[in-house]
């Protein structure tokens, strides 16, 4: 004798339907369609993981390209362009600039542990841009000081809608 997995009644060992609750107690097997669906469901996330790895590899290749002086393919973007785009249409500015690499230049206002700050004056207001450098740039950054003019390329990271703030990351010094 065995117990029905649904109503816990004692039933014959060979029974496939419970005589009390009338439910099917036979072990369920996955048919051919079930197997195919299961394989598809397992393949979809795998595809995105593999594709994601490819995107990550591409990103690291591009970063290596920057560090080896391969910045000539990027266009120059002025701080003024970012400020005007933010003022006109923030969501459009975000889609145009965030996550993309551009060449910038400016005068250093201050230098911190992992970033330098450039202040850009526009129509009488000061806008701060925090530039976080790539780790490979430590030696070049140590040679910079307040007031130096610097040209660099970086990824636009955050176009903060509040105040006059924007951050750039993975900056690579050109000059």
User: DSSP string spanning 86-141?
Assistant: HHH-HHHHHHHHTT-EEEEEEEEEEE-SSEEEEEEEETTEEEEEEEEEPGGGHHHH
Listed in sequence order, the residues at least 6 apart from 127 whose beta carbon sits closer than 8 Å to its beta carbon are 79, 83, 119, 120, 121, 164, 165, 166
Higher pLDDT, residue 72 or 167: 167
pTM of the model: 0.54
Give me the mean pLDDT over the 41-62 stretch. Answer: 52
Please give the C-alpha separations between residue 149 and each of 57, 104, 105, in angstroms, as whole numbers: 33, 11, 7
What percentage of the chain has pLDDT greater than the value 90?
1
Confidence of residue 55 (pLDDT cuts 50, 70, 90): very low
Q: What is the pLDDT of residues 114-171, one digit of tens each?
A: 888 888 777 777 777 888 877 778 788 888 889 998 888 888 887 766 555 678 888 8
Q: Could you tell me the two tokens for 103? A: 């060449």
What percentage of the chain has pLDDT greater than the value 70?
75
Give me the mean pLDDT over the 44-57 stretch. Answer: 50
């Amino acid at each position: 004798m065995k117990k029905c997995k649904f109503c816990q009644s004692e039933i014959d060992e060979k029974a496939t339907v419970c005589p009390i609750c009338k439910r099917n107690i036979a072990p369920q097997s996955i048919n051919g369609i079930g197997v195919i669906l299961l394989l598809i469901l397992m393949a979809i996330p795998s595809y995105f993981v593999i594709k994601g790895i490819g995107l990550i590899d591409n990103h690291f290749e591009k970063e290596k390209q920057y560090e080896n002086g391969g910045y000539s393919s990027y266009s120059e973007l002025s701080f003024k362009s970012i400020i005007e785009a933010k003022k006109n249409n923030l969501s459009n500015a975000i889609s145009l600039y965030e996550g993309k690499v551009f060449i910038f230049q400016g005068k250093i206002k201050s230098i911190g542990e992992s970033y330098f700050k450039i202040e850009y004056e526009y129509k009488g207001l000061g806008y701060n841009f925090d530039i976080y450098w790539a780790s490979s740039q430590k030696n070049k950054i140590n040679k910079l000081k307040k007031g130096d003019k610097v040209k660099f390329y970086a990824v636009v990271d955050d176009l903060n809608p509040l105040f006059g703030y924007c951050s750039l990351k993975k900056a690579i010094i050109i000059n």
